[in-house]
Amino acid sequence: MRFAKYHGTGNDFLLVEDLDDESRLSNELIAALCDRHRGVGADGLIRILRSDRADFVMDYYNADGNVSEMCGNGIRCLAKYVFDRRLTSKSEIDVDTRAGLKHLVLDAVDGTVERVTVDMGQPSLERKALQMSGDPGGTFVGQPLLAGGRTFTATAVSMGNPHVVLFLGPQDDIASVDVPSIGREVEHRPEFLNKTNVEFVRVEDGSITMRVWERGSGETMACGTGACAALVASSLAGLTGREADVRFPGGLLRVAWRGDDHVFLTGPAVFVFEGELSAAWTDGVLAGARR
């Protein structure tokens, strides 16, 4: 089985071209591939399939091998993969995901995609969409949330997958925040019935600086759906307008929450390398999982 590694603002993925849906990968194998010490290393894995209602299907898995609904950085990498490898000649494509159809506009230079804009759809604040306990039609916006021994102002936003945005104060140094400890604590809070992604956000002069703890992957260099959730939460709080730059340790994304209520994400997609997975390595991983 061949694979390719790509990243979007440092958020890295293994892409497997499986157009005819012939390679069902186990959770154990995906987790082993994404392991940064014993495998290839990645924040997640994407199988690329043909679709009967779109151009392609994105079958996305977190680094722990569990399925996830959507990935904003990953879907841009998929777009670059299919265009650069001549699986499509279109400059605009539709991709089917577990969070619905997504429309992508590809910015190619000399036949190579460098940036992609994704229509991420409409955000939802309802607890039902967030798989959050309580009144299904209720929201969690600008509420206190106790974690890591301190109280954050928090807003929960679904971008097809659940997010909790924690606002930091002007006195906070975002680099020194204990993201792994607090992020893990919030991810596993009982009110989030299917766990949650956690964003640590500082807003200054209308732009957003953030770090992210991703459900099933841990801290990552960037998160596309997290950037969208952060912009929505910051706009609702009056801290930004409806468009802003979002800066991660891995780079810069641009997010716009437009008048039709759709959120648009723009950022780079970068090819890293490709390789081949040997049967011997696969058999060893699966044998170890069975033991």
Query: Can you tell me the distance from the alpha carbon of 90 to that of 241, in angstroms, rounded to the nearest whole number?
Result: 32
The neighbour count for residue 264, using CB atoms within 10 Å, is: 18
Query: Are 11 and 221 a contacting pair, CB within 8 Å?
Result: yes
Q: Active site residue: 34, 77, 223, 228, which one?
A: 223
Q: Active site residue: 34, 71, 77, 228, which one?
A: 71
Cα dihedral 286, 161, 179, 154 in deg (nearest 10): -160
Query: Are 129 and 118 a contacting pair, CB within 8 Å?
Result: no
Report residue 201 as tokens: 């956000």
For this structure, is 34 an active site residue?
no
Query: Can you tell me the distance from the alpha carbon of 166 to that of 186, in angstroms, rounded to the nearest whole number?
Result: 10
Give helix 72-84 / helix 224-236 axis angle, nearest 10°. Answer: 140
Q: Sort residue 130 into left (φ over 0), alpha (ψ -120 to 50) or beta.
A: alpha
Cα angle at 289 between 286 and 291, to 5 degrees?
115
Query: 27-33 long-range contacts, Cβ below 8 Å, gap at least 24?
Result: 27/61, 27/64, 27/65, 27/66, 28/65, 28/285, 28/286, 28/289, 29/65, 29/282, 29/285, 29/286, 29/289, 30/61, 30/65, 31/63, 31/64, 31/65, 32/285, 32/289, 33/3, 33/277
**Residues acting as catalytic residues:** 71, 223
